[in-house]
Amino acid sequence: MPPLKHPSYNPGRRQFIKWGIGGAAASVLPFGIAFARQKTQARILILGAGAAGTAMANRLNNALSGASITIVGKRPQHYYQPGYTLIASGLWQTEQVATPTRNWLPSEISWIPSDVAELFPAKRAVRLEDGQTLEYDLLVIATGCQLNYSEIEGMSPDLVGQKGIGSVYASAEGATATNRQIESLISAGEGRALFTLSDTPIKCAGAPLKMIFTTLSRLEDTGKRDAFQVDFFTPFQNKVFSVPVYNDFVLNRWQEQNVNLYDQRVLTAIDVEKQEATFTTANGQRQQEAYDFIHIVPPMSAPDAIRYSVLAWQEGPMAHQWLEIDQYSLQHRRYPEIFGVGDVIGTPFGKTAASVKKQAPVAEANILSYLADRPLAAKYDGYTSCPLITSIGKAILAEFGYGGELMPSFSFIDPTEESWAVWVMKEKMLQPAYYAMLNGQV
């Protein structure tokens, strides 16, 4: 480990930080509402400059006075990833989802365009890919998740857009390339389209379903739907979505639309030249399936720097894959000065932009309480929202939390019914709300 930039953390600094808080802490209300900015001299480091990291940077900058806040993340562009399915469905252009990262960060915050390479929680320090080593008093991990295309033999993100391969997750450009492959399938007038699902937790679990539904709409619009075979491969038994009411809706609709379901099958290899996918069944058998188009959902995990560190879950179903976190307080279970927000955290639900909108104020409130030596009172209930597109022009607003409990936000929208209104919300209204979240306004 390279030499640290500052003297190693000593126990006296925690008390020093507490003294710097002052009386403003008493005015902090639940979920980050404050009458005055809370004073502190804490060094706050945020890993990840995506949706979760940016929202936290703005919230903490607004809530604290005197803090030194640094955010790290190497992407020069910020991408509105909920728009990727619309790009891949031929409805949006790439430029509609890209903005400069710097535009979303307050001038008072230091931004280092580099990703984290290694963490040293015992020393409260991290090393970046550019070689810098940074110390912190409080760490927010918001790195997002890692797309592990290489865990599928023969696959890499560079192949998206080639020889019938699509994947909405790869990038904004990958979404555009996916649309081109779907257009090629349609132009051919016939063919077999495969849609897959990973056996790991994934961000925006509705995206694979959205892609098959919008593709079905486009095939039906040709008037030659019967010329196309459409199949969905899921690693699970008779399951494509974790909440039963939505899972049942999708499976029933697919029966009506003549979509074939192949369950308990994991995509394990791809032969690009042969246009052949290999799936491994529950009993270990390998089956080859030919395709004209395939939509690939890669296995996902926390970035390697997180999942191979002591900060990851060490046991249980999320072991060595996701950040260990208390699912309610969003505080690390073994390192109280560490909090997690966004796709990187190992919780039962919560890998959507709407989840970040609910997590950020909880994390903010609990961080303020931690800095003030107060009990952590704010709780995240697992809220996850997915405008589940069921055809081009219709969608269901799926909102749920821990235990799969439905958590509808609008009394006038039935959370189990598809409607044009939810489609309009997805296509026209959610992006401005997302940008307000980035700014720490909601």
Looking at the annotation, which residues are catalytic? 204, 386
**Cα maximum dimension of the chain:** 73
What radius of gyration do the chain's Cα atoms show? 23
Cα gap 387→45, rounded to integer Å: 33
Cα gap 366→329, rounded to integer Å: 7
* Burial profile 137-172: b = 16 or more Cβ within 10 angstroms, e = fewer: bbbbbbbbbbbbbeebebbebebbbebbbbbbbbbb
Interaxial angle between packed helices 353-371 and 430-438, expressed in degrees from 0 to 180 and rounded to the nearest 10 = 20
DSSP secondary structure letter of residue 162: S
Cα gap 49→14, rounded to integer Å: 26
Angle at 119 between CA 147 and CA 76, to 5 degrees: 50
Cα gap 359→56, rounded to integer Å: 10
Q: Report the 3 state secondary structure along 9-68.
A: CCCHHHHHHHHCCHHHHHHCCHHHCCCCCEECCCEEEEECCCHHHHHHHHHHHHHEECCE
Locus of tokens 């409990």: 405
Answer whether 86's CB lies under 8 Å from 425's CB.
no
What phi and psi, each to the nearest 5 degrees, are found at residue 116?
-75, 140
DSSP H/E element including 119: strand 116-120
Cα gap 351→327, rounded to integer Å: 13
